[in-house]
Amino acid sequence: MENYADKNFKRLEKILLSDKINIPEGFAEIVRRDIESVLSSYFELNRVRLEIIPSAAGAEITVSADASRIKTLSVGSNLD
């Protein structure tokens, strides 16, 4: 038999946290695009993913991206 108790507990943990953090619609996409634009000056990007998961402390944010190439930058001289 399915354990509704566990299932409901986990569901509620998520619901209660997201009720508290209250992420507005479209918020994650705006942040994702910002990060994408920063990263794209250094990498030839294929894809950028962003996940915001409410947590007891507030939110856990995971960014992952993959790139096909690192852009060549003349950084050496600037650091002298």
Partner 1 sequence: MAARKIVITSGKGGVGKTTVTAGLGYALAAAGFGVILVDADVGLNNLDVALGVEDRKLYDFSDILESRCRPGQALIRCGERDLFVLSSGAETPAMTAQAFRGVIESLATSCDFIFIDCPAGIENGFHRAVSAADEAVVVTNPAVSAIRDADKVLSLLTGYTLSSVGIAINRINGGKVLSGEMMSAADIARLLRRPTLGIIPEDAEILLGKTPAHNGRSEADEAFGAFADNIASRRARPYDYLSAHRGFRGFFRRRA
Helix (H) or strand (E) holding 18: helix 4-21
Phi, psi of 32 (to 5 degrees): -60, -45
Distances from the Cα of 23 to the Cαs of 50, 71, 72, in angstroms? 14, 34, 37
The nearest distance, CB 52 to partner 1, in angstroms, is: 20
Binding of partner 1 by 1 (CB under 8 A): yes
Binding of partner 1 by 47 (CB under 8 A): no
The nearest distance, CB 15 to partner 1, in angstroms, is: 6
What mask of x and - would describe binding to partner 1 in positions 6 to 35, judged by CB under 8 A?
Answer: x-xx-xxx-xx--xx---------------
